[in-house]
């Protein structure tokens, strides 16, 4: 993994984290927004411009890849590099959680 | 029935997209909905019932390769695509009963900054290049020739003084406004 990608993406924005987290399954942009809204009880909303911009940036940086098109929607999936970044971020968050007295 | 049409000419520079959004939103609220934008600055409106419709502009440099997908995706979020002008995409949406976050194209500052970065890199940079590479040298040359009483040189001098002033204004204005936008969206 290049250090540059690491420097850009870690720590991640909440938006970036949830997008990458969701893309462990094949999904499209609007589907991600709906799922994130659901699993955060409506606390995290990712809007159209933010979603489009994040997906194209992550695709360009090789964190996710385009899988196929379905009814004018592009389906994406996380790449090996994306998984690596996600794992680093998860470990960072776990450490945070541990240090504030969680398990 | 023929609907009343109104045309207005407005100039919004690269950094003024939020002002343009506010202008279009206000027009619709007072009963004039945007029909189209031509020549970059002629706004044609059609008389309508006053409605709460918000207008938003997006700038995504890579959308050209897949415009129909881009439009379809914004459509899923309830945005009606209108047209593209100078690389900006115009969207609108009815806001009655909507939560505030559903009236915005961006839900975090990082993506707003990313859009600004794209505008600056692809649109403002060429202006800088023309300014420093062509206008400044020619401006200096024209000023030096300007006092030798050859009419053609005087015309050139006047032309370059105007171009120099115009470009200086555009660059200065955009740089200041982008700084203001960055400040506005930087977390305190």
Dump pLDDT digits (tens) for B2-14.
Answer: 679 999 999 999 9
What's the length of chain B? 188
User: Degrees (nearest 5) of the Cα angle B40, B63, A9?
Assistant: 120
B107, A54: Cβ pair inside 8 Å? Answer: no
DSSP chain A: --HHHHHHHSSPPHHHHHHHHHTTS-B-HHHHHHHHHHHTTT-----HHHHHHHHHHHHHTTSEEEEEEETTEEEEEE-HHHHHHHHHHHHHHHHHHHHTT--
DSSP B67-79: HHHHHHHHHHTTP
Dump pLDDT digits (tens) for A44-88.
Answer: 999 999 999 999 999 999 999 999 999 889 999 999 999 999 999
Q: A68 and chain B: CB distance < 8 Å anywhere?
A: no
Dump pLDDT digits (tens) for A4-58.
Answer: 888 889 999 999 999 999 999 999 999 999 999 999 999 999 999 999 999 999 9
Residue A52, domain CATH: 1.10.10.10
ipTM of this complex prediction, to 2 decimal places: 0.92
The total of structural domains in chain A comes to 1
Going from N- to C-terminal start, the domains of chain B cover 5-103, 109-185
Q: A11 and chain B: CB distance < 8 Å anywhere?
A: no
Structural domain span for residue A42? 3-99
A73, B72: Cβ pair inside 8 Å? Answer: yes
B70, A52: Cβ pair inside 8 Å? Answer: yes
A48, B111: Cβ pair inside 8 Å? Answer: no
User: Degrees (nearest 5) of the Cα angle A87, A58, B93?
Assistant: 120
User: Degrees (nearest 5) of the Cα angle B167, B168, B171?
Assistant: 80
Q: Which of residues 26-65 of B touch A (CB under 8 A)?
A: 56, 58, 60, 62-63
B-chain CB neighbours of A74 within 8 Å are 66, 69, 73
Residue with the two structure tokens 């690389």: B87
Please give the model's pTM, rounded to 2 decimal places: 0.91
**Mutation choice for A interface testing from B73, B81, B102 by most A CBs within 10 A:** B73
A73, B102: Cβ pair inside 8 Å? Answer: no
């Amino acid at each position: 993994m290049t250090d540059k990608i690491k420097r850009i993406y870690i720590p991640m924005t909440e938006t970036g984290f949830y997008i990458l987290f969701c893309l462990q399954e094949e999904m499209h942009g609007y589907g991600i927004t709906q799922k994130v809204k659901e699993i955060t009880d409506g606390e995290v909303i990712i809007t159209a411009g933010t979603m489009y911009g994040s997906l194209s940036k992550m695709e360009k940086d090789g964190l996710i890849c385009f899988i196929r098109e379905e009814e004018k929607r592009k389906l994406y999936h996380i790449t090996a590099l994306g998984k690596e970044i996600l794992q680093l971020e998860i470990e960072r968050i776990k450490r945070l959680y541990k240090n504030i007295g969680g398990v | 029935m023929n609907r009343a049409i109104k045309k207005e000419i407005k100039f919004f520079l690269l950094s003024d997209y939020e002002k343009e959004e506010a202008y279009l939103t206000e027009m619709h609220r007072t009963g004039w909905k945007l029909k189209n934008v031509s020549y970059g600055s002629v706004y044609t409106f059609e008389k309508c019932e006053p409605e709460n419709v918000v207008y938003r502009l997006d700038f995504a440099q890579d959308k050209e390769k897949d415009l129909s997908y881009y439009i379809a995706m914004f459509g899923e979020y309830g945005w009606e695509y209108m047209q593209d002008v100078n690389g900006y995409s115009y969207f609108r949406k009815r806001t009655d009963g909507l939560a505030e976050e559903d009236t915005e194209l961006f839900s975090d500052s990082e993506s707003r900054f990313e859009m600004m970065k794209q505008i600056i890199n692809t649109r403002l940079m060429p202006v800088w290049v023309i300014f420093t590479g062509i206008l400044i040298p020619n401006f200096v040359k024209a000023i030096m020739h300007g006092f030798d009483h050859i009419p053609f040189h005087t015309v050139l001098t006047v032309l370059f003084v105007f171009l120099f002033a115009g470009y200086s204004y555009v660059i200065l204005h955009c740089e200041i406004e982008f700084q203001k936008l960055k400040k506005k969206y930087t977390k305190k």
